[in-house]
Amino acid sequence: MSDSPTTPFRVAALQMVSTPDRERNLAEAGRLIAEAAAAGARLVLLPEYFCFMGYKDSDKLAVREPYGDGPIQRFLAEAALKNKVWIIGGTLPLRVPDPLPEENRVLNTTLVFDTRGEEVARYDKIHLFNFEKGAESFDEARTIRPGGEVRTFEAPFGRVGLSVCYDLRFPELYRRMGDCALMVVPSAFTYTTGRAHWQTLLRARAVENQCYVLAAAQGGQHENGRRTWGHSMLIDPWGEVMDVLDEGPGVVAGDIDLARIAAVRASLPAWRHRMLDCN
């Protein structure tokens, strides 16, 4: 990350309540991207599963795409070009290359497109959610193959670290991203786990890495019966919540200011005081 302050760079996170209808979700995402761009955003983050929330976990297999082609990938590229924004495309289901015998899973993948509509980064979700409490039961490993590589990319204001939802609980992942100006967390946190831990974990990642954290969430009651926590937000390097949306579709936004990062790190130089190697 550059140490020289630059003009603040406006970023936005979209909050959605996605449905089992892919085309309806893409239309809603397109509307919110345009809204964010019209308000000055130059980078837009979509939530996990922005394109599809099926009635059961295996429904995502019906809309999986080969890497490099498909209606969801074309939508993201075209939306970036049309609105002249960087788009971090939440997640979409990609086909698993060289599947094992009888393997019926997808990769839960984030793709990043620049203002020309060209892909510049890819991240396959590493940590797979597993939760059992009462009537709630989730095991992503049944339908998702985990990724294995930490990924970042260079935006106009500096390095951006990529993560997805359950990754948020594993701080070593964020340390391995290195010196980031921004870390992003597209998510579909359940209402139960989100109410308990969401904001605490997001603020911790911002404070310990002394950078901005932008989180785009699913937020509300879905047609499949699932309820997600929402509370999409932008957090600054001191851990202050700059903007937040509790529930329902909408946009949260704010500026990435390198001078703010530099000031926080100068007054409390925890980043410089790191002693252990997380590689």
Residue 37 lies in a domain: yes
Block means of pLDDT (10 residues each) for the chain, length 279 residues? 68 98 98 98 98 94 97 98 98 94 93 98 96 82 96 98 98 97 98 97 98 98 96 98 98 98 96 82
The pLDDT assigned to 3 comes to 42
The pLDDT assigned to 4 comes to 46
Residue 2 lies in a domain: no
Residue 276 lies in a domain: no
Asked if 102 and 115 count as a contact pair (C-beta separation under 8 A), the reply is no
Sign of the CA dihedral with 188 first, then 167, 210, and 111 last: negative
The pLDDT assigned to 98 comes to 87
Domain span at residue 18 reads 9-267
Asked if 213 and 237 count as a contact pair (C-beta separation under 8 A), the reply is no
104's tokens: 């019926």
Residue 3 lies in a domain: no
Distance, in Å, from the CA atom of 194 to the CA atom of 199, rounded to the nearest integer, reads 8
CA 86 to chain centre: 13
Query: Torsions phi, psi of 176, nearest 5?
Result: -70, -15
Q: Minimal CA–CA distance to 212: which of 278, 273, 158?
A: 158
Residue 1 lies in a domain: no
H-type alpha helices, 11-143: 22-38, 71-83
Q: What is the CATH number of the domain that holds 27?
A: 3.60.110.10
Residue 87 lies in a domain: yes
128's tokens: 């797979």
DSSP 8-state symbol, 16: B
DSSP 8-state symbol, 96: P
Q: Minimal CA–CA distance to 42: which of 8, 76, 4?
A: 8
The pLDDT assigned to 277 comes to 74
Q: Which residues contact 272 (CB under 8 A, 6 or more apart)?
A: 265
Number of domains in the chain: 1
Asked if 160 and 153 count as a contact pair (C-beta separation under 8 A), the reply is yes
Residue 275 lies in a domain: no
User: Looking at the annotation, which residues are catalytic?
Assistant: 48, 125, 165
* Strand 43-45 with 86-88, pairing: parallel
The pLDDT assigned to 133 comes to 83
Residue 272 lies in a domain: no
Asked if 234 and 265 count as a contact pair (C-beta separation under 8 A), the reply is no
Q: Is 279 exposed, middle or buried (0-12, 13-18, 19+ CB in 10 A)?
A: exposed
Model's pTM, two decimal places?
Answer: 0.95
The CA distances from residue 119 to 29, 108, 161, 189, 215, in Å, are 18, 17, 16, 26, 21
Placement of tokens 């449905």 in the chain: 19
Distance, in Å, from the CA atom of 129 to the CA atom of 197, rounded to the nearest integer, reads 14
Q: Minimal CA–CA distance to 221: which of 185, 250, 195, 247?
A: 247
The total of other beta-carbon atoms located within 10 Å of residue 163's CB is: 26
